[in-house]
Amino acid sequence: MKIIKKIIGIFLIQAFILTNYAFCGEVGPFFCVNKELSSALAPEVIIKFPQFQDKFLREIILSGLRKNNGLVPATSKALQISARVIYRLVTKEEIAAIFEQAETRQKEMIILQLRINSGNVAKTVRDLKQYKIHSDKIYKLVSKDILESIRQKKKDREKEELIQVLEQYCLHAGWHKNTADALGISTASFKERLQKHGIAVSDLRKELELKALKQEKGNVTRAAGKLGLTRTRLEKYKREIKEFREQARQEEQARKIRLLFETLEETKGNRQLMFQSLRISEKTLSNWLKKYGDVYFPGLVEERLGRVDLLLEDLKQGGLEAKDAEIYQMRRFFSKSIERIEQHYGWMRVWQGPLQERFVSGELAHKIKKYEKLLKVLKKYLLDVPRVHRRFMKEDIDKIIKIIDYFYEQNVYIAVKESFEYSVPEIIRRGKLKMIQANVIHIIGQAI
3-state SS, the chain, equals: CHHHHHHHHHHHHHHHHHCCCCCCCCCCCCCCCCCCEECCCCCCCEECCHHHHHHHHHHHHHHHHHHCCCCHHHHHHHHCCCHHHHHHHCCHHHHHHHHHHHHHHHHHHHHHHHHHCCCCHHHHHHHCHHHCCCHHHHHHHCCHHHHHHHHHHHHHHHHHHHHHHHHHHCCCCCHHHHHHHHHCCCHHHHHHHHHHHCCCHHHHHHHHHHHHHHHCCCCHHHHHHHHCCCHHHHCCCHHHHHHHHHHHHHHHHHHHHHHHHHHHHHCCCCHHHHHHHHCCCHHHHHHHHHHHHHHHHHHHHHHHHHHHHHHHHHHHHHHHHHHCCCHHHHHHHHHHHHHHHHHHHHHHHHCCCHHHHHHCCHHHHHHHHHHHHHHHHHHHHHHCCCCCCHHHHHHHHHHHHHHHHHHHCCCHHHHHHHHCCCCHHHHHHHCCHHHCCHHHHHHHHHHC
Domain ranges of the chain: 2-90, 95-142, 210-258, 297-447
Would you state the pLDDT for residue 10? 53
Ordered per-residue pLDDT tens for the chain, 448 residues: 555 555 565 555 455 444 444 443 344 433 333 334 443 443 444 444 555 677 888 888 888 888 888 888 988 888 888 888 888 888 989 989 998 998 888 889 999 999 898 888 899 989 988 888 888 888 888 888 998 999 898 889 999 999 999 999 999 989 989 999 998 999 999 999 899 889 999 999 999 999 999 999 999 999 999 999 999 999 999 999 999 999 999 998 888 888 888 888 888 888 888 888 888 888 888 888 888 887 888 888 888 888 889 999 998 888 888 888 887 888 888 888 888 888 888 888 888 777 777 888 778 888 888 888 888 888 877 777 665 567 777 877 888 888 888 888 764 444 444 444 444 344 333 433 333 333 333 333 343 3
Would you state the pLDDT for residue 262? 87
Would you state the pLDDT for residue 242? 94
Would you state the pLDDT for residue 4? 59
